[in-house]
A and B are shown apart, each in its own frame.
Chain A
Amino acid sequence: MTPLHIPILRHTLPNGLRVIFSPDNAVPVVTVYIVYGVGARAEEPGRTGFAHLFEHMMFQGSENAPKGAHFKLVESNGGSLNGSTHPDYTDYFELLPSNKLALGLWLEADRMRALAINPANLDNQREAVKQERRLSFDNQPYATAIVDRWPQLAFRNWQSSHSLIGSFEDLEAATVEDVSRFFKTHYAPNNAVLVVSGDIQVPQARELVETYFADIPSQPPALAPGLAEPPRTEPCSETYRDPLAKVPALVIGYPGPARRSPDYNALVMLDLLLTGGDSSRFHQNLVKGNKSVIQYAANLGWPFAGPSDYLDPGLYAMYLLYNPAFTGAQIVAQVEDQIASLWKDGLDAGELDRARTHLLAGRIQGLQSSHARASLLGRYELLDRNPDYVNTECDAFLAVTAAQIRDAARRYCVPQQRTMLDILPADPEEGK
């Protein structure tokens, strides 16, 4: 059994808001974390980028906290805050000195109750999002290929294949009515989970939560987007010329298993064996042995999620920056050789134990901050209806056997189900 004992106290308000308290009084810091069950995969055609645009609107003021107040009140009290949009959820947090818990709750409740949606705020944030797109995507090597093109190759269903950041045309088309409707439908207490973690006394924290959130009305539940994907039967491959890239990069993905299924647990461990730390197979055999790969990242859910928020249909995907002396096809072959050797030749002595220890240590390391604990608790409540996974999922991962990993490698990471995107410098001379 893993030595994890993160305290979890659950409570549901009559309006459907699910609340989790997780006290830890060592450092006078508290996190207020709220996650709404709506993300980019719930967007409608013609409204790409809407979930993210809306996330920006959440910082534009609400009934009693005027424009700018949210940032100002949190920062002037020594805290930090942010929001982020994901395929299947959108989350917000305030990290504050613990005496400011009431402030964080007041701010979140005020905008859940009555967000200030008006044309001026919308225009202003439309510009900010467009600028964010220019900065973080259009002007970055690899980013456009990964954010816009990769989902189109990897998914057939529009809900999953459209751009999460959205197109300028769709952002222009968004109206105040769209934003208001989105708010009413998705930003309701019954579509949210609130977590309060860190230096709190639970009875007082609970009283504050009741005070601020209990009378926010619930809404009829939104229809969940239809995400079903047709099965993959043949490989799909594309070359992308990136004028900003100087070194070639490859994205490879395979449709993944259902969340929390035995195969999901097996793929988490498989990924650790392949890419977890310097003793992993990719590092030892591709970066070191073949000297073909320079850097890599991989995950169930890459690039927008990891195991903690992977939701099927999704992919086990990886990104490899590679030595231009090799071709993308050679890299794919090397990657699939590594995976095949797992099921053909089996695991080395000690390899699985190392991966298990690595997993456990990483988890302990990753739960040290109140924000990290709150974010996992909130998302597990939202995605699994079971925040206890924070303490228990490691046991499921650690129980995966070598045979299960080999079996999952053989069934999931196969050429027929592979999608690959080879991102090459636009001018081939530049990569030399």
Chain B
Amino acid sequence: MDRTKPPQTPALPVYKLPPVFENSLANGLSVLLIEDRRFPMVTARLGFQAGSKYDPAPLAGSLSEAAAGLLIEGTESRTARQIAEETAAIGGSLHASSSPDHLQLAASALSENLPQLLNLVADVARRASFPEEEVELYKQNRAQELLSQRAEASFQADEKLAELLFAPHPYFRQDPTLETIEKLDRATLAGFRHRALSPNNAVLVLLGALPPRERAIELIAAEFGPWQPRELPPSPPASFPEPARSIVLVDRPGSVQADIRIGRLAVPRRDPSYFPLLVGNTILGGGASSRIFANIRERMGYAYDAHSAAYPLQDSGSFAVVTQVRNEVLALAIQALLDEMHRIGAQPVSAEELDTARNYLSGVFVIRLETQDGLASQVAAVKLLGLPLNYLEQYTTRVRAVSPEGILAAAARFMDPQPASLVVVGDASRILAPLESFGKVKVEEAK
């Protein structure tokens, strides 16, 4: 055996996803069933086209999120405590969360308790009552949590970048403010539930050690069948600002380091440029063998965390490079990031880089499907985003089809630093001068 070289290994065996059985109820609820008998558990997702982008302007960033948080805090027939105790008693979990596009309930239980699990999920989705006391407590605690989040430089940076990239599209407000939290009340939340959480707006994914299919459908129909469809609220128009260079410094006195984001508007998953962007991003800053990691962290030693990421949304998307550096090297680090963003759109990537990135994305994709949660999340996302169900099957093929020319074109469109938005959160008294070498800086107080 030659120990001096990495071992040769056989090809990866072909992996096919477990079959997905697709059905829908008469009221429009889309149902996906996946059999997975490895563990005596069932995992459910009930997702709605009801994310924060639908929030009315006075409640931007707060309504969908609050509704999600409060769904499990009381229904017409159960108190919050009863919901919590019944969930625990079936070996379950039950939570809802909101993203810019979707509101999603995530639940699980020991598989023998599937009927009780479906009953709980249907009850909170259909009959959440938003009790006054729970709403007030939610508002009080969310306000404190927000203060706490605002203490973190990365939160301030993400918030500001979203504003620069997306405003005035509602994607710009992905988090609430103290003002929008204060405006929440029971009637508004109940109105949201009535309007946005309807079966013709929803996807139910059920995965795990399921009963025979007819029985599963019967259980689902009993809980969700009588749910009345409703007319759906329109999506906000998908119009986004033209990219333009802007530099904002959010002043955070006392910061020992500067949190940097350089971002651009990008594209949703269904866009033909998405896969080239994804692979290009991986080469640029998507992992420990990426250019940014190798240069900013390993070679220059400027940062512990230096990466880039593409965030696809339903109607748009963003791309950003992210790092945190000590104040003294701020200008050097920003210049290095801008240079890397420029280079990937100017010169084709090498065959080795491309191979590495394609293998990485394909491998990580399979690894994400190891758990019920991972698989359920992927299937729900595909369905909610309106992607074809074979998207997961084809993912690896599409990653492998990306060419150096495709990356060059996508990088020139989405990674060019010229019209990028630059956000730095840090101590203005120490970093304003070096930042000004990149252009006119708007200094803002940290919120």
Contact = CB atoms under 8 A, between A and B. Distances in A.
Contact of A135 (B87, B304, B369): B304
Interface string B41-68: 1000000000000000000000000000
B238 interface: no
A292 B83 CA distance: 21
B10 A78 contact: no
B360 interface: yes
A78 B362 contact: yes
Interface stretch (B23-31, B147-155, B387-395): B147-155
Contacts of B150: 246
A310 B196 CA distance: 46
A180 B272 CA distance: 51
25 contacts: A27-B15, A27-B366, A64-B4, A68-B289, A72-B289, A75-B360, A77-B359, A77-B360, A80-B367, A97-B363, A103-B6, A103-B7, A134-B326, A139-B257, A141-B151, A211-B1, A244-B254, A246-B151, A287-B137, A294-B144, A321-B145, A323-B141, A354-B89, A360-B110, A361-B108
A131 B325 CA distance: 7
B89 A135 contact: no
Contacts of A350: 85, 89
Interface in B240-275: 254-257
A358 interface: yes
B307 to A, nearest CB: 12
B317 interface: no
B38 interface: yes
Contacts of B38: 24, 26, 368
B144 A324 contact: yes
Interface in A67-120: 67-69, 71-73, 75-81, 95-103, 106-107, 110
Contacts of B370: 27, 29, 368-370
B13 A78 contact: no
Given A364-B39, A369-B371, 10 more contacts: A3-B40, A64-B4, A75-B288, A95-B367, A103-B9, A246-B148, A278-B72, A295-B145, A360-B110, A430-B147
Contacts, number: 222
Interface in A220-271: 243-247
A364 B326 contact: no
A75 B85 contact: no
B92 interface: yes
A271 B58 CA distance: 41
B84 A277 contact: yes
A364 B305 contact: no
A431 interface: yes
Interface in B319-359: 324-326, 355-356, 359
Interface residues of B, number: 77
Nearest to A105: B7
A128 interface: yes
Given A138-B256, A243-B254, A284-B81, A131 B301 contact: yes
Contacts of B215: none
Query: Chain A, interface size: which category?
Result: 35 or more
Given A27-B370, A324-B144, A99 B12 contact: yes
A10 interface: no
Contact of B301 (A75, A127, A211, A283): A127
Tell me the dominant secondary structure on chain B's binding face: mixed
A65 B5 CA distance: 8
A76 B359 contact: yes
Given A103-B6, A279-B85, A283-B84, A357 B91 contact: yes
A124 B359 contact: no
Contact of B84 (A98, A243, A278, A365): A278
Among B1, B141, B373, the most chain A Cβ lie within 10 Å of the Cβ of B141
B298 A68 contact: yes
A291 B137 contact: yes
Given A103-B6, A124-B298, A358-B91, A141 B289 contact: no
Nearest to B36: A26
B88 interface: yes
B80 interface: yes
Q: Which 3 A-B pairs have the closest CB atoms?
A: A78-B363, A361-B91, A71-B288
A100 B364 CA distance: 13
Given A99-B11, A368-B38, A279 B92 contact: no
Interface in A7-43: 24, 26-29
Contacts of B1: 211
Nearest to A27: B370
Given A28-B366, A75-B288, A361 B303 contact: no
Most B CB contacts (10 A, CB to CB) among A77, A211, A350 go to A77
B88 A355 contact: yes
Given A76-B356, A245-B151, A279 B88 contact: yes
B93 interface: yes
Contacts of A245: 148, 151
Given A65-B6, A354-B85, A79 B367 contact: yes
A178 interface: no
A177 interface: no
Contacts of A3: 40
Centre residue among B7, B93, B287 by max chain A CB count within 10 A? B7
B330 to A, nearest CB: 13
B129 interface: no
Contact of B12 (A97, A106, A124, A288): A97
Contacts of A65: 6
Given A97-B366, A324-B144, A134 B257 contact: yes
Contacts of A71: 287-289, 293
B10 A128 contact: no
Contacts of A324: 144
Contacts of B148: 141, 245-247, 321
